[in-house]
Amino acid sequence: MACINASKSEIKAIDERFPEHIDKIEEWERLVSLTSKRQAASFFPDTKRAGMAVPNIRAKVEWAKTAYGGRQYDLLGAAPSTACSSSYGLCE
């Protein structure tokens, strides 16, 4: 779970529905950081910040909760979704 190419809405949905997966990815980042030359690791690539500090999964989750380029929290999307998120209506 969690593709490295996941969209902002997918990352937010994973955090809301399966927070244990975020914890697992955070542990993976920690373990890889211990053996990395840079002492940092990130599950998601960050093309906008090349050469800067490596954002971790928690930073990506916080970014996924924002709107307008990550500068402001999305107040309309702040409430957890109770409806089916399948575009095919496959939820039970």
Query: Alpha carbon of 48 to those of 28, 52, 53, 85: distances in Å?
Result: 23, 9, 11, 29
pLDDT in tens, 44-92: 876 565 555 667 888 888 888 888 766 777 766 655 566 666 666 656 5
Query: Alpha carbon of 16 to those of 2, 20, 26, 28, 50: distances in Å?
Result: 13, 10, 16, 20, 28
**pTM tops 0.75, yes or no:** no
DSSP-assigned letter for residue 57: H
Write down the pLDDT at residue 40: 80
Q: How many CB atoms lie within 10 A of CB 26?
A: 15
